[in-house]
Structures are given as C-alpha cells and as structure tokens.
Amino acid sequence: MTIYLGIDDTDTPESRGTGRLARFIAEGLSSEFDILGVTRHQLYVNDAIPYTSHNSAAVIHIDGEGNGSLQVIFDSAKEMMIADFIEGSDPGICIATAEQISTPLLRFGMSAKTKVVNQDIARHHAKMDNILLEGLGGTNDGIIGALAGVGLAASGSDGRFVMRGSTRMMTGCRSIDELLASGIDQVMTQDRQPVKDGDVRISKFPKPALLGGQAVLFVSDLDGDYTDLVIG
C-alpha cells in the first residue's frame, strides 16, 4: 500500500525550502517506514496566489502497512513541521493511501496546476475522500498545495523526484548501471528511447521524472554523449 504525505507553503523567502523540509521529514520517518522517495510538483504561478518562489508542493511516498499507520505517520510529520514552523509561512499537511484517491481528487490536483483554487474546494475533496488534511499556521493556505500534491503524486505521472534511493549521491559522471542501482527505474532520451548502457554526465544530482509510476531519468543524447535533464 502506497501512502502519500503532502506538505506545502512551509517556508519564506529567507528560510529553507519545502523540499528540504520534506527530505528531513522523510529521513525522520525512515526509521519506522520504508520511504520510496520524495517528489516535487509544480502548481499554478499567478499573482493571485501567495507563494515563496516557485509555488511547488512536496510529497513523500511511503510503503506503509498495518492498521493505524496513516495516523502515526501524520502525527509524526505534523510534530516535525510544528517544531520547524517558520514565522510568516502558511503550512499545510495531507496524507492519503493510493486507494483513497478518487478521480475528482486527481482532477483537483491537475486544476491546481492551471488555475486558482481555494481552501473550501480543498477541504471539500478531503472530506469526500475521508482524507486527513490540516493547516498548521498562518492562513493555512498550504492545505491547497498539500492536497493537490497528493493527487498529482498518486496520478503516477507528474513532477520529479528530489530524493529517491541514493540518487542524491550520484554526482559527476555515472554509468547507467550505477544510476539504475541508485533507485532510478529507467533512463530515456527526450524522444523516450531507452538508454541501456554508457555514462551520463550529471549536472548536480539526478532528478528523475515521475512517469507511469516510475522514476525516469531523461537525458540529452549527442552522438552517445549523455547529459541528465530536469523534466517535470
């Protein structure tokens, strides 16, 4: 059973980003749960929406089994977020299993990428699907991105991984075999041709796209000379 833990609007222009907090929470939860990765999801950028820099949400993917695990994860993550609250931020947190994600919620996630949505709409979808959703300070606007992020992550084809296995250790020039062993499922060119062997020059660390439920690293190909790309 895959569990999606979404957070958003946890930072200010002067503070650490939401992605960094999500990785911190993932590391904290990893002692009890199997963390599958952390994804970043781009939401709508518009002057009518208060956001820090890029208006993106972060989602922690968790392999969770057992009664009560949802509440345990939610409470643990909430405690870490409250302890790290940044004055001036408007954090929100959401958690759901893949089985809870309805078609309307998937549509809500997609709509948050293209138009302004509000807390009432977010709370409505959470109530309809019996999903834990809570604001943790400020205006509580973070619940919008937290819920949207969960829907987008559950779609299996949105955003990109900012943490997956040992991908953040993959720097410099790495072989395809090394990249696959680090947690990347496939390496592809932009025209979606699979790359089975060779080396890839990594600009910082790989950020594979979430595509078809897999971590897919896209690369540019110049006569067999591969360089990683950030897509999603």
Dihedral, CA of residue 213, residue 28, residue 167 and residue 133, to nearest 10: 30
pLDDT at 223: 80
Specify whether the CB–CB gap between 93 and 134 falls below 8 A.
Answer: yes
Min mean pLDDT across 12-21, 86-95, 186-195, 218-227 is at: 12-21
What is the mean pLDDT of the segment spanning 46-54? 55
Predicted local confidence at residue 220, as pLDDT: 95
First to last CA, the chain: 24
Q: Are 103 and 109 in contact (CB under 8 A)?
A: no
Decide if domain 2-161 falls under CATH 3.40.190.10.
no
Q: What is the pLDDT of residue 13?
A: 61
- Give the residue extent of every domain in the chain: 2-161, 166-228
- What is the average pLDDT across 187-210? 95
Residue 53 pLDDT exceeds 60: no
Q: What is the pLDDT of residues 143-189, one digit of tens each?
A: 999 999 999 999 999 999 999 999 999 999 999 999 999 999 999 99
| Structure confidence at residue 46 as a pLDDT band (50, 70, 90) | low
Higher pLDDT, 69 or 59: 59
Tokens of 111: 């709509």
Report the mean per-residue pLDDT for the chain.
91
The model's pTM: 0.93
**Residues contacting residue 54 through CB under 8 Å, at least 6 positions apart:** 42, 45
Pairing of strands 186-189, 214-222: parallel
Model confidence at 85, pLDDT cuts 50, 70, 90, reads confident
pLDDT at 51 over 80: no
Task: Kindly tell me the burial class for residue 14, based on how many C-beta atoms sit within 10 Å of its own C-beta (0-12, 13-18, 19 or more).
Answer: exposed
